[in-house]
Amino acid sequence: MKYHTLNPKIFVNNRKRFLDKMGSHAIAIFNSNDELPTNGDQLYKFKQNSDLLWLTGIEQEDSMLILFPDNPDPKYREVLVLVRPNENKEKWDGRRLRKQEAQNISGIQTIIWLDMLDGMLQPWVHLANTIYLNTNENDRKSNDIAVRDYRYAQMMRERYPLHCYERSARILKELRAIKTPEEIEVMQKAIDITDITFRRLLKFIKPGVMEHEIEAEIWHSFLSQRATGPAYGSIIASGDNARTLHYVENNKECKNGDLLLMDFGAEYGNYCADLTRTIPVNGKFTSRQKIVYNACLHLHHYAASILKPGISIVDYTKKIGDEATIVFHKIGLIKKSDIKNEDPDNRAYTQYLYHGISHHLGIDVHDLGTRTSSIKAGMVFTIEPGIYIEEEQMGIRIENNFWITKNGNKDLMKNIPITVEEIEAMMKR
């Protein structure tokens, strides 16, 4: 790993939070993700199962976690399972964790090797009434491929058909949504790396630069600051490309007079930042660009003013839609007749703002969390309104990351330039 070792208290606390939600006489088992092939003998870069990562901090493949708080032997109440280091394999694929290293990362004292597990796990399962299995559930994820979580669940149900089974994902969806102060420290590091990178880009961008050259600068800046890399595929969208929400080609020239939408964020310690800024390629907004940008910034600030504990995402989104309707009429995008005759299920403003305003953020860039129940203190959300105007070939989005507090929220990106004046001044400099 490129980043400095995180505080193991993060993972000790996370496991305690999960254990407090488990029923009595229950055992919970978590698996790492599969290593997936590309072509020939090549593999995709390994990405750890987010739930296992959240509980242990271990990035290594073929890892497992066993939690059994009622185990008669206290030594085996939390067990980290690792692949046994193999000298010959390490010559090809690199060094694997030793027990002491894994203890330092995870805070788990009992480490066993994977080739020892079968003989130890069965007696523990026989002592338990309930088995918690993980399914890595995310409302945005399709499960067309039978990944390890689901194969393992099927195997366990065949081997132990008379046990009761529970989904650990139901607990983790609730817990992972609430970030601890220690987690926020890591997220803030990812955000600070992203901040430095954005300021670097403001000095680099000018007419004639290619979108992929900007993406290269992002990679360079992230890696030089010990980030793992981007938290997701960077969107570097100039001109009309900005109206494509997940534009990833990044292969066009940035032209004089165009706006440039950049949606990117660093991953540090496996926690994500998620920033969007829209800037003028030549360093100066036109009068119309400034009007639309400030309208978008107004929506951003309005969303921040109402994103607080107690409001639901449904009500939050409706209120922003009401405000967008007023703003879009004011800047000439929609007429009073459009508003009067709008379909309640397809409101007039959605012609120019056709995506959600916020999503949970954490170990995953679209992190686990509620979409229906009320927002709670401790959650981290993006706020990212946009305005996309086909007839003007313009797309603007502004995004910051917010930690929900007891009475409101804290803007974790408050130091990153956001106003027209700040952006123009830094690009001029």
Strands (DSSP E) found in 316-408: 380-383, 386-389, 394-397, 400-404
Q: Is the pLDDT of residue 11 over 80?
A: yes
Domain with residues 9-174, CATH architecture: 3-Layer(aba) Sandwich (3.40)
Assign 141 a pLDDT band (cuts: 50, 70, 90). low
Domain 9-174 and domain 181-428, same fold? Reply is: no
Q: Where are the domains of the chain?
A: 9-174, 181-428
The per-residue pLDDT for 142 is: 67
**Least confident span in 33-47, 92-106, 277-291:** 33-47
How confident is the model over 120-139, as a mean pLDDT? Answer: 92
Q: pLDDT tens for residues 89-100?
A: 888 889 999 999
Query: What share of the chain has pLDDT > 70, as a percent?
Result: 99
Cβ atoms within 10 Å, residue 88:
7
Q: Can you give the pTM of this predicted structure?
A: 0.95
Q: Which phi and psi (to 5°) does residue 97 adopt? A: -60, 140
The per-residue pLDDT for 139 is: 72
Mean pLDDT of the chain: 96
The per-residue pLDDT for 145 is: 77
Q: pLDDT tens for residues 151-173?
A: 999 999 999 999 999 999 999 99
Q: 181-428 belongs to which CATH class?
A: alpha beta
Q: Is the pLDDT of residue 429 over 90?
A: no
How confident is the model over 201-218, as a mean pLDDT? Answer: 98
- Name every residue whose Cβ is closer than 8 Å to that of residue 188 and which is 6 or more positions away in sequence: 412
The per-residue pLDDT for 137 is: 79
Assign 226 a pLDDT band (cuts: 50, 70, 90). very high
Cβ atoms within 10 Å, residue 159:
10
Taking the C-alpha atoms of residue 13 and residue 176, their distance in angstroms, rounded to an integer, is: 12
| Coil/strand/helix, residue 165 | strand
Report the alpha-carbon angle 257-263-264, nearest 5: 130
The per-residue pLDDT for 348 is: 96
Q: pLDDT tens for residues 332-386?
A: 999 999 999 999 999 999 999 999 999 999 999 999 987 788 999 999 999 999 9
Residue matched to tokens 């002592």: 127
Going by DSSP bridges, is the β-strand pair 259-264/266-268 parallel, antiparallel, or unpaired?
unpaired
Facing residues of 386 across strands? 397
130, two tokens: 């309930």
The per-residue pLDDT for 138 is: 74
Q: Is the pLDDT of residue 207 over 70?
A: yes
Assign 39 a pLDDT band (cuts: 50, 70, 90). very high
Assign 391 a pLDDT band (cuts: 50, 70, 90). very high
